[in-house]
């Protein structure tokens, strides 16, 4: 018996029968409204266990067993498919993929001519039928032989044109799903209309496509993955014209996808995970790894990679089993969604007074990481999702994304669930909560957690005041000597000497460190303020863009949006935060703290330089816009590059912290990033670089050692 079978404990015939019933019921829910009681990983393990039991006990297979059937045999439809719409067999490892490929080549008696590799989209398989170029019918997969007519949903689907660029009669097959933004909008609309939240994007797409009397509007997206000719006897006029039909029967799959795109149907070609071809199984595996590495960066869900024999002749000769083509397989990726229990909700108060709820979960492994906590964003998010203590909840995690609770699995409720207690006063100090914004805040703001705010401000990556430990800060606040970190700059020698365990030498050293902190660059001072929506990296960008604190304080929301990474939602928050922090900033100025960024120029100064360059270029007959852009463009060896640093630094960089490395990247003209993606230009890989280095290599990102990086940015060290 396989490990998967043992995991669900199919020990005897009774357990086998129960497992079959569970799988069929879960499959019916999954292919119905999408609300399965099992997450994808649990369902896959259950079906594999059922198959293992059946192999070990030939002749005892139940007729209703999901093995060997499309959609587990749990769904039916009343619209016949012109060609069976089958499922795919699965591979769960590189070895299984290689074994399948070798088996296909043995069946053919020769090597596969070429392979096609494309993402397996996590949505609802759909047949879109066109008559003379006009979309006339949408049909679900159903049981593979017949599906459900969902043509009423045509107007909700993007990427599927109402008219093709060519007036052909054809069937386009593909996947309907919801992007992250569409899912959030659909969930909000459903809750506002009095419904329960969707569990995940797939169930949202499945349920919304079938619903005919929704009191709200939703938007979905279609990606095509194939096309077939339609015959006259299928009720589509004269059927597909013979030249088009012949092309669809004989062209390689990759070229058929070119035809589909030319008709105006959306495919994954414009996405980071565009379908490609490969000549060998080794090339296939590399592309599989590349797509898997990009999974967390996508705006839509994928749960695997589809590998196919590309040539039509290979497909025809390989043929089909009862439920799947023998020439294609789905390489399944580890699940990024799991169902677990919501045990409690913790309410934490941050250094700016923000009150943030956190879900405490029954530990569950998602995407290779054990998850115990997940974000809940705010009280409104809890109410909108209808969460209760004891709920079975869908937890999502992909790549470097912080785990989040999507929604309760409502149909798994037992009645023992209890409401989540929403605090009526600040959980930290007991004062009033300001609930006028989505994110609640204690009315005391930073004063609620003054000690936390001061500890943050004097940390190594901010003002870096050596000798000012937590116990000293606690004493200073308790004695009423300081209420914020600006008060540190007015402390006297006598006041510090009065603290426990502070002698003359340690006092003088601390005063010297406080005095030295006055000369820190603006980006450090701004970061010490703890402005909501900013961190070390954003503080550096803001300081470099505005050059002085006066310029920052004078900036309106529109001016802030000129800074990379600040959009229309964040900009007004920054303006409001700086207004609130005005007294603190004023105290810092009065204390003589530096308020300028070395080497930076103000927006007005850059505008003047650009204007002068444009006028000079125009007088010389050159392009003034190009001259202005060149005059104000950033310089340095990393100009315009996104750089990620990982692992322990060595050589000349051995003593630099991660934040200091990021500062070095930005001094050299680059943009420091914490995660590797297709946009990453360079990875600095130190000792024990780990997964980020592996991901960069898969994506073809340039990887260099700390010593090589030190040589590259030597002038900026």
Cβ neighbourhood burial of 195 (10 Å; 0-12, 13-18, 19+): middle
* pLDDT > 90? residue 699: no
388 shares its domain with 529 = no
Whether 104 shows a pLDDT value over 90: the answer reads yes
Q: How many helices (H) and strands (E) does the chain have?
A: 26, 25
Q: What share of the chain is helix, strand, coil (3-state, %, to 5)?
A: 40, 20, 40
Final residue in a domain of this structure, among 298, 332, 366: 332
Q: How big is the CA angle at 558 (ends 184 and 182), to the nearest 5 degrees?
A: 10
Angle of helix 658-667 relative to helix 536-546, nearest 10 degrees, comes to 30
Task: Identify the pLDDT of residue 3.
Answer: 32
Q: How many CB atoms lie within 10 A of CB 192?
A: 11
Question: What is the CATH classification number for the domain harbouring 406?
Answer: 2.40.50.140
Q: Are 610 and 628 in contact (CB under 8 A)?
A: yes
pLDDT of residue 551: 96
The pLDDT of residue 71: 52
User: Domain limits at 410?
Assistant: 337-421
Whether residue 126 is contained in a domain is answered as yes
Q: At what angle do helices 253-262 and 242-250 cross, to 10 degrees?
A: 140
Which are the contacts of 385, defined by CB distance < 8 A and separation ≥ 6?
Answer: 187, 191, 197, 405, 406, 407, 408
Token digits of residue 233: 């006897």
Look at phi and psi of residue 671 and say left if phi exceeds 0, alpha if psi is from -120 to 50, else beta: beta
Give yes or no for residue 546 having a pLDDT over 80: yes
Q: pLDDT tens, 262-303?
A: 999 999 998 989 999 999 999 999 999 889 888 878 899 998
Residue (of 294, 271, 275) closest to 284 by Cα position: 275
Are the beta carbons of 222 and 173 closer than 8 angstroms?
no
Run of H or E residues at 206: helix 201-210
571 in the same domain as 508: no
**Is the pLDDT at 560 greater than 90, yes or no?**
yes
What pTM value is reported for the model? 0.60
For residue 670, is it left (φ>0), alpha (ψ between -120 and 50) or beta?
Answer: beta
Question: What pLDDT digit, counting tens, does each position of 600-615 carry?
Answer: 889 999 888 888 888 8
DSSP state of 655: T
Please indicate, yes or no, if residue 196 is contained in any of the structural domains: no
Higher pLDDT: 305 or 193? It is 305
Q: What pLDDT is recorded for position 6? A: 35
**650 occurs within a structural domain:** yes
Residues 567, 707 share a domain: no
pLDDT of 407 strictly over 70: yes
Give the mean pLDDT of the chain: 87
Question: Looking at the structure, do residues 482 and 526 belong to the same domain, yes or no?
Answer: no
CA dihedral (238, 241, 244, 250) positive or negative: positive
Query: At which of 457, 482, 517 does a domain end?
Result: 517
701 in Cβ contact with 676 (< 8 Å): yes
Which range is least confidently modeled, 13-27, 477-491, 519-533, 641-655?
A: 13-27
CA separation for the pair 492, 495 (Å, rounded): 5
Task: State yes or no: is 120 an active-site residue.
Answer: yes
**Pick the catalytic residue: 69, 120, 518, 695?**
120
| The pLDDT value given to residue 628 | 74
Q: What confidence score (pLDDT) does residue 225 get? A: 96
Domain boundary, last residue among 480, 498, 517 = 517
Q: Which is more confident, 463 or 630?
A: 463
In a domain, 432, yes or no: no
From residue 604, give the alpha-carbon distance in Å to each of 158, 173, 578, 634: 44, 55, 21, 16
CATH code assigned at 692 = 3.40.50.10190
The whole-number average pLDDT for the span 337-356 is: 90
Cα–Cα nearest to 149, from 87, 81, 202: 81
Give the pLDDT confidence score for residue 35 in this predicted structure: 60
- What are the CA-CA distances from residue 282 to residues 288, 308, 343 (Å)? 10, 14, 45
Tokens of 323: 């439920």
- 111 vs 398 pLDDT, higher one: 111
Residues 160 and 26 in one domain: no
Q: What is the mean pLDDT of residues 135-148?
A: 89
CB atoms within 10 A of CB 110: 10
Q: How many CB atoms lie within 10 A of CB 652?
A: 14
CA 306/CA 323 separation, integer angstroms:
16
Measured in whole angstroms, the distance separating CA 384 from the mean position of its chain's CA atoms is 21
Considering the domain architecture, whether residues 218 and 99 belong to the same structural domain is answered as: yes
327: which 2 tokens? Answer: 């020439």
Q: Verify that 102 and 128 share a domain, yes or no.
A: yes
Do residue 291 and residue 176 come from a single domain? yes
Residues sharing a CB contact under 8 Å with residue 459, sequence separation 6 or more, in sequence order:
none
The pLDDT assigned to 337 comes to 81
Provide mean pLDDT across the span 499-510: 92
At residue 476, does pLDDT exceed 80? Answer: yes
The pair of structure tokens assigned to 491 is: 């402390």
Residues 153 and 298 reside in one and the same domain: yes
CA distance 109 to 542: 64
The DSSP secondary-structure symbol of 526 reads H
Identify the weakest region by mean pLDDT among 104-113, 118-127, 413-422, 436-445: 436-445
Q: What is the mean pLDDT of residues 212-228?
A: 91
Q: What tokens does 281 get? A: 């199984």
Are 648 and 618 part of one and the same domain? no
What is the per-residue pLDDT for 86?
A: 86
CATH number at residue 550: 1.10.150.20
What is the 3 state secondary structure string of 242-278? HHHHHHHHHCCHHHHHHHHHHCCCCCHHHCCCCCEEE
Q: What are phi and psi of 215, to 5 degrees?
A: -85, 10
Please check whether residues 211 and 276 belong to one and the same domain.
yes
- For residues 441, 675, 688 and 703, what is the CA-based torsion angle, rounded to 10 degrees? -150
Collapsing DSSP to helix, strand or coil, 472 comes out as: helix
Q: What is the pLDDT of residue 261?
A: 95
pLDDT of residue 424: 93
> Average pLDDT, stretch 398-409?
75
pLDDT, position 36: 63
Position 2 confidence tier, pLDDT thresholds 50, 70, 90: very low
Q: Where are the alpha helices (DSSP H) in 418-500?
A: 450-457, 470-478, 493-497
Whether residue 486 lies inside any domain: the answer is: yes
Tally of domains in the chain:
7
pLDDT of residue 399: 58
- Residue 326: predicted pLDDT: 95
Beta strands in 327-419 (DSSP E): 328-332, 337-349, 355-366, 369-375, 388-389, 392-396, 404-408, 418-419
Q: Is residue 437 part of a domain?
A: no
Residue 653 lies inside a defined structural domain of this protein:
yes
Instruction: Give yes or no: residues 280 and 176 share one domain.
Output: yes
Q: Does the residue 440 lie in any domain?
A: no
Q: 62-82 pLDDT, tens per residue?
A: 887 877 655 555 555 678 888
Residue 534 has pLDDT above 50, yes or no: yes
pLDDT at residue 411 above 80? no
Q: pLDDT value at position 425?
A: 95
């Amino acid at each position: 018996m396989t490990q998967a079978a043992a995991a669900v404990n199919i020990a005897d015939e009774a357990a086998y029968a129960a497992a079959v019933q569970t799988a069929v019921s879960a499959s019916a829910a999954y292919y119905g409204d999408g609300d399965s009681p099992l997450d994808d990983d649990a369902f896959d393990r259950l079906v594999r266990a059922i198959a293992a039991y059946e192999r070990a006990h030939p002749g005892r297979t139940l007729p209703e067993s999901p093995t060997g059937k499309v959609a587990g045999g749990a769904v039916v439809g009343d619209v016949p498919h012109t060609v069976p719409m089958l499922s795919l067999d699965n591979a769960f490892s590189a070895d299984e993929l290689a074994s399948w490929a070798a088996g296909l080549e043995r069946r053919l008696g020769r090597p596969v001519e070429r392979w096609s590799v494309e993402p397996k989209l996590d949505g609802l398989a759909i047949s879109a039928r066109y008559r003379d170029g006009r979309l006339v019918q949408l049909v679900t997969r159903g049981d593979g032989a017949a599906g459900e007519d969902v043509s009423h949903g045509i107007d909700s689907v993007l990427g599927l044109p109402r008219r093709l660029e060519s007036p052909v009669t054809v069937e386009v097959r593909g996947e309907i799903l919801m992007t992250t933004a569409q899912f959030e909008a659909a969930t909000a609309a459903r809750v506002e209309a009095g419904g329960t939240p969707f569990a995940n994007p797939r169930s949202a797409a499945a349920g919304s496509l079938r619903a005919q009397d929704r009191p709200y509007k939703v938007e979905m997206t279609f990606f095509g993955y194939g096309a077939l000719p339609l015959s006259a006897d299928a009720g589509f006029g004269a059927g597909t014209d013979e030249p088009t039909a012949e092309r669809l029967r004989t062209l390689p799959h990759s070229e058929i996808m070119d035809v589909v795109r030319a008709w105006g149907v959306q495919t994954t070609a414009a996405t980071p995970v565009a379908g490609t071809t490969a000549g060998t199984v080794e090339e296939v595996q590399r592309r599989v790894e590349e797509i898997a590495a990009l999974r967390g960066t996508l705006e839509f869900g994928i749960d695997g990679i589809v590998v196919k024999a590309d040539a039509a002749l290979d497909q025809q000769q390989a043929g089909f089993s009862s439920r799947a083509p023998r020439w294609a397989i789905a390489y399944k990726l580890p699940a990024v969604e799991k169902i677990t229990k919501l045990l409690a909700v913790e309410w934490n108060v941050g250094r700016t007074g923000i009150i943030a709820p956190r879900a405490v979960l029954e530990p569950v492994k998602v995407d290779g990481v054990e998850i115990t906590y997940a974000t809940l964003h705010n009280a409104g998010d809890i109410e909108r999702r209808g969460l209760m203590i004891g709920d079975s909840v869908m937890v999502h995690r992909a790549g470097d994304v912080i785990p989040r609770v999507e929604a309760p699995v409502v149909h798994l409720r037992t009645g023992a669930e209890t409401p989540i207690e929403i605090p009526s006063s600040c959980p930290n100090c007991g004062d009033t909560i300001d609930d006028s914004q989505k994110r609640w805040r204690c009315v005391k703001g930073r004063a609620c957690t003054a000690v936390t705010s001061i500890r943050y401000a004097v940390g190594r990556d901010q003002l870096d005041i050596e000798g000012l430990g937590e116990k000293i800060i606690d004493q200073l606040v308790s004695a009423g000597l300081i209420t914020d970190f600006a008060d540190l700059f007015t402390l006297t020698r006598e006041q510090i000497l009065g603290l426990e365990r502070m002698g003359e030498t340690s006092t003088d050293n601390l005063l010297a460190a406080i005095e030295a902190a006055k000369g820190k660059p603006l980006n450090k001072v701004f970061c010490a303020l703890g402005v909501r929506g900013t961190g070390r990296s954003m503080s550096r960008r803001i300081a470099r863009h505005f050059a002085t604190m006066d310029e920052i304080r004078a900036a309106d929301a529109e001016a802030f949006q000129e800074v990379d990474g600040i959009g229309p939602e964040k900009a007004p928050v920054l303006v409001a935060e700086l207004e609130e922090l005005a007294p603190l900033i004023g105290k810092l100025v009065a204390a003589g703290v530096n308020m300028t960024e070395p080497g930076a120029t103000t927006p007005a100064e850059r505008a003047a330089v650009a204007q002068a360059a444009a006028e000079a270029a125009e007088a010389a007959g050159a392009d003034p816009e190009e001259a202005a852009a060149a005059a104000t463009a950033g310089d340095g060896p990393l100009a315009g590059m996104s750089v990620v640093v990982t692992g322990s630094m060595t050589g000349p960089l051995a003593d630099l912290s991660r934040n200091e490395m990021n500062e070095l990247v930005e001094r050299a003209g680059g943009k420091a990033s914490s995660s590797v993606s297709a946009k990453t230009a360079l990875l600095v890989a130190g000792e024990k670089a780990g997964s980020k280095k592996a991901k960069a290599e898969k994506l073809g990102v340039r990887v260099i050692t700390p010593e090589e990086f030190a040589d590259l940015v030597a002038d900026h060290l």
